[in-house]
């Protein structure tokens, strides 16, 4: 049996993913969950309750940022971590000073990582923040290294793509870290990430175990309408196919 080229396989898989893709949904928090109740629930031992509180806070919008920044100044590390994630989601530039304080003073690696991520996303000395996160992918426990990989994925920045690609190709990295690099590329909605994933998928030296993860990451990217179009264009180029607009008149007539 003749095996289809990888590009053709991806084209059919991604087309199916695009057709079935639905707009992303955010789980609805409990009705009537206000600011004070959310802050209280962030201290809960129940992860589901904390996640519900973070979603509710995000839905309250940027107007709550000053209060969250105030809470951040005295919050214990676990709660501070969640507050930074919410403030980052709200794109709160006024939180930068609080992030800087955490980054320079905190001894908690997880909290320091999320502060570095938030500062990078505000473009506050991006390169040094990314370099710090990258350094933590190479030291510490497996769990700490995975946390650093998660922060690289949260950057969602084209500047992180070469870093993630180099991590994947670093055979000295544990398997879990290399897999995380692929998934991070799948969570980075920029053309450079799609290009990197396609290059990995077509590399004959890469094991099929990793290529299956790459296919899944590409399907994840294709769930974004703009990225689906980017991937389709890259696939057309890889297969040297004419774009739909350039199809012969006779072909379009048959369709």
235 and 149 co-located in one domain? yes
27 has a pLDDT exceeding 70? no
Q: Is residue 39 part of a domain?
A: yes
**Given 90, 124, 158, which residue is the final one in a domain?**
124
Look at residue 226 and give its three-state secondary structure. Answer: helix
Determine the structural domain holding residue 62 and report its residue range. 35-124
The sign of the torsion formed by the CA atoms of 113, 227, 15, 165 equals negative
CATH number for position 115: 1.25.10.10
> What mean pLDDT is predicted for residues 14-42?
63
Q: Tell me the pLDDT of the chain averaged across its residues.
A: 85
Do the domain assignments include residue 62? yes
Q: In this structure, is residue 236 part of a structural domain?
A: yes
- Burial letters for 126-145: b for 16+ Cβ neighbours within 10 Å, e otherwise? beebbebbbebbeeeeeeeb
- For 204, the token pair is 């004959």
Tell me the per-residue pLDDT of 50-108, one tens digit each, with 9 for 90 and over: 999 999 999 999 999 999 999 999 999 999 999 999 999 999 999 999 999 999 999 99
Residue 130 covered by a domain = no
Is the domain of 173 the same as that of 106? no
Choose the final residue of a domain: 124, 158, 188. 124
Kindly report the pTM of this predicted structure: 0.80
pLDDT value of residue 237: 81
Domain end, chosen from 95, 124, 153, is at 124
CA 217 centroid distance within chain: 11
Q: How far apart are the first and last CA of the chain?
A: 29
Whether residue 156 is found in the same domain as residue 225: yes
Considering the domain boundaries, does residue 30 fall inside one?
no
Instruction: State whether 193 and 114 are in the same domain.
Output: no
Residue 78 lies in a domain: yes
Asked whether residue 208 is domain-assigned, the answer is yes
- Please check whether residues 170 and 233 belong to one and the same domain: yes
Residue 152 and residue 81 in one domain: no
Lowest mean pLDDT segment, chosen from 4-18, 181-195, 234-248: 4-18
Task: Tell whether 199 is covered by a domain.
Answer: yes
Number of domains in the chain: 2
Of the given ranges (4-13, 40-49, 143-152, 218-227), which has the lowest mean pLDDT?
4-13
Judge if 171 and 98 occupy the same domain.
Answer: no
Residues 150 and 232 placed together within one structural domain of the fold: yes
167 and 109 in a common domain:
no
Q: Please tell me whether residues 227 and 184 are part of one structural domain.
A: yes
């Amino acid at each position: 049996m003749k095996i289809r080229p990888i590009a053709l396989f991806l084209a059919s898989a991604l087309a199916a993913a695009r057709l079935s893709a639905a707009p992303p949904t955010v789980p609805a928090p409990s009705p009537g969950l206000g600011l004070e109740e959310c802050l209280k629930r962030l201290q809960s031992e129940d992860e589901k309750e904390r996640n519900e509180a973070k979603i509710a806070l995000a839905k309250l919008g940027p107007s709550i940022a000053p209060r969250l920044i105030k809470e951040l100044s005295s919050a214990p590390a676990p709660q501070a971590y969640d507050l930074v994630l919410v403030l980052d989601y709200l794109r709160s530039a006024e939180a930068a000073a609080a992030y800087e304080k955490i980054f320079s003073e905190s001894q908690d690696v997880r909290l320091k990582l999320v502060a570095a991520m938030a500062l990078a996303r505000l473009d506050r000395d991006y390169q040094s923040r990314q370099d710090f996160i990258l350094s933590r992918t190479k030291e510490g426990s497996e769990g700490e290294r995975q946390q650093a990989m998660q922060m690289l994925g949260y950057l969602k920045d084209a500047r992180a793509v070469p870093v993630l690609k180099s991590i994947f190709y670093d055979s000295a990295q544990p398997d879990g870290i290399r897999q995380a690099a692929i998934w991070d590329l799948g969570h980075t909605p920029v053309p450079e990430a799609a290009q990197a994933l396609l290059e990995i998928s077509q590399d004959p030296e890469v094991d099929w175990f990793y290529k299956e993860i790459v296919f899944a990451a590409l399907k994840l990217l294709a769930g974004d309408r703009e990225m689906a179009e980017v991937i389709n264009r890259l696939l057309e180029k890889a297969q040297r196919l004419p774009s739909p607009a350039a199809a012969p008149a006779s072909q379009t007539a048959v369709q």
